[in-house]
Amino acid sequence: MSVPDINAVRTNTGGLPGFRAMRDINLKLKISKRIGLTSSSLEQFSLGCASVRGQYIAVGTDNPEASQHFLTVVDAEVMLTKGQKEPVLCTTPVSEHISDVHWLNANTILCATGKGNLNLYHFDQEAKTLKHVGIMKDACGSYIREIGVKPGSANNIVLGGFDQKLNFLDLNRPDNPYVQRLDMQSVIGSVKWAPFQNNAYVSCGLDEGKFYLFDARQRISAAAFYMDSKKEDMFTHERYNDFNLLLGYGDGEFKHVDMRQANKVLATVQDPYVEAVGGIEFNQESHAFVISGYTDFSVWKVRNGEMAIHSHSKSGSEALKGKGYYTSATWYDATTVLSSDNSGGVGLFIQDWE
């Protein structure tokens, strides 16, 4: 299964990573630090997706049944250094649960809250405070599953969820924010705005197993690419270069697709540590994927055209094992994974690439 290096995919007709056998893998993971943001109730302070801007992490509580909801900013550099300094900089109450969170710029945090609402918060780096500065009610007709922010933009976003509409918005147009709206006719599980190809393309995955790619530079009348994976519970995807993507499923499986080969799935892999895949994030610098969901996360590294599992985490609360414990993970930098989980923990995990 050896193929050209992943760096060459944009100009080469190759692109299929090989998958090395599990017995050949030396798993390496250094736990740098994990802090708990819970009090007495683990479920009440369940944490959802986290977002990174510089050294600051924004994370929100995602349990819709909780009586209290919070948005918190954590200083990652404090977490990574030894000492007793408090890494939690500020916390503010939120009226509804937070299903997704993104930094729009160094001072502005966008949250998807409740049943389809968007809220903006201002983070004052000097005063270390959070202030609610705006709300857009019913931006989505039902619960939002994921928001994609155009790279380099603080106002162009795309979102989707249970109302089955892919919504393109310009936040600089508060009186008429909708640029366009596509009826996907099925629940939208994942939305991404790719940081390559001049930030032109938005991708969308449906729970029923369909994947769409759209050129967001123009009025959309048809998909630039479409495929039906013919497998349901496709909860996430990651388009990691011009032509290649991974599709993640609720049974712990992920599929590799080269869009130049239409509807052909080139490889199917069962993650040995993530029982249900809820998120996939690729780091362009380290050429590594972090795959997260139920119950924790795994890191897959690409070397010499082969993709092999490099490390995995089982750091969560034992009290929640077998009771719906899940983790959301992304990259803090090229060597460090940021995770948040529904036991109320935020962790930074340094990878040893040697």
Domain extents in the chain? 43-138
SS3 category, 321: coil
Q: What is the pTM of this model?
A: 0.88
The CATH number of 43-138, from 3.40.50.2300, 2.40.10.480, 3.30.1780.10, 1.10.357.10, is 2.40.10.480
What confidence score (pLDDT) does residue 324 get? 64
What confidence score (pLDDT) does residue 124 get? 97
Residue 58: closest CA among 319, 338, 299, 354: 338
Q: What's the N-to-C CA distance of the chain in angstroms?
A: 23
For the chain, 354 residues long, give each residue's pLDDT as a single digit of tens.
222 222 222 222 234 445 443 333 334 444 455 666 644 333 446 888 899 999 999 999 999 988 889 999 999 999 888 777 889 999 999 999 999 999 999 999 999 999 999 999 999 999 999 999 999 999 999 999 999 999 999 999 999 999 999 999 999 998 899 999 999 999 999 999 999 999 999 999 999 999 999 999 989 999 999 999 999 999 999 999 999 999 999 999 999 999 998 778 888 999 988 999 999 999 999 999 999 998 889 999 988 778 888 888 865 555 555 556 788 999 999 999 999 988 888 888 888 887
Helix (H) or strand (E) holding 77: helix 76-80
State both tokens at 278.
Answer: 């809820």
Helix (H) or strand (E) holding 293: strand 288-294
